[in-house]
Amino acid sequence: MKYIFLTLVLLMSPFVSANDKFAMEMITSNSSGGWGAIRFETETGKSWLIKGGIFVEIAERRRLAKGKYIINMVTTRKGWSATRMDV
């Protein structure tokens, strides 16, 4: 049921784009039984965490340089972790 709801949220989201301006990474965690998803702008690295079915902007310490960003998510003992990289 969570996956169906998440799909509907993504389809109705203003962040959904027909081009590659935005991307999303999602992961499930067997250890915590939960899931995580991050939507991000590929050129600026600006990111949003999906929390409670809504997009919550992830605060930055400083403005990132324009580039070509990707996010990699992995499972951990406590849930999951994400790393943003400029490739």
CA distance 2 to 51: 12
15 has pLDDT over 70: no
* Termini Cα distance of the chain: 35
Domain around 59: 2-86
Alpha-carbon Rg for the chain in angstroms: 13
Q: Residue 54 has which token pair?
A: 């809504």
Each residue's pLDDT tens digit, 17-71: 456 899 999 988 776 678 889 999 999 999 999 988 899 999 999 988 999 999 9
pLDDT attached to residue 32: 66
Q: Residue 3 has which token pair?
A: 């996956």
How many structural domains are present in the chain? 1
Q: Is 38 helix (H, G, I), strand (E, B) or coil?
A: strand
2 has pLDDT over 50: no
CA distance 83 to 25: 11
Largest Cα separation within the chain, whole Å, is 38
pLDDT attached to residue 79: 83
